[in-house]
A and B are shown apart, each in its own frame.
Chain A
């Protein structure tokens, strides 16, 4: 899997939009970009996945520029319950049975 770099931590306040950017300069043509969320003492949870441009679901949006060397996870109007660690992963999404390699992630703290 391509190596990723993301901020160690971020602080925000309730109601704000939070953008977490991940760098993946060595992303390969077949690689997808996937974000997971992990609450304390729980398993990681899939949030969103994309290949290029923009993907949006009920939880978040994922923005991927044309060169795909970075991606930005956008969380609209965060609440206290969005306090978690967010992981950016890059890998072959086309039917791969491979394992996921997690980095340290970004610890998001949402304050009232």
Chain B
């Protein structure tokens, strides 16, 4: 069964550093998403991406965040200058549009720790 993959599984960085989280969505999917989950809290939507541009973004997704699909397979989330409060699990998800369904497939996540 196809699945979404994410690298690295765990990233430790110093406050103020840039990090890039990588995702490989399922190959025939068209919609891509990033979510985050701070320890013990809800899964929160960050951004959706379709047709090589951002479709929707949340208030969390400020100017420090950016997304890119640099080639036909990878989907990346960049945080330019990390803050302590960016420490969380970051999940990538992808979706294939099929009439009547709305199912997103999530990756295993990247645990980001900002020191």
Chain B interface secondary structure, helix, strand, loop or mixed? strand
Kindly state whether residue A66 has any CB partner on chain B within 8 Å. no
Contact status B42-A97, CB under 8 Å = no
Q: Once bound together, how far apart are the Cα atoms of A84 and B95, in whole Å?
A: 23
Can you name the residue of chain A whose Cβ is closest to the Cβ of B104?
Answer: A100
Contact status A93-B100, CB under 8 Å = yes
- What distance in Å separates the Cβ of A45 from its nearest Cβ neighbour in chain B? 7
Question: Which of B63-71, B72-80, B107-115 is found at the contact surface with chain A?
Answer: B107-115
Known: A41-B89, A44-B91, A100-B45. A94 touches B100 (CB 8 A): yes
Known: A38-B43, A97-B31. A43 touches B108 (CB 8 A): yes
Total residues of chain B contacting the partner, CB 8 A = 31
Chain A interface secondary structure, helix, strand, loop or mixed? loop
Partner of B45, one of A42, A46, A99, A104: A99
Partner of B48, one of A41, A44, A91, A99: A99
Partner of A46, one of B91, B99, B103, B111: B103
- List residues of A whose CB falls within 8 A of some B CB: 32, 34, 38, 41-46, 49, 51, 87, 91-105
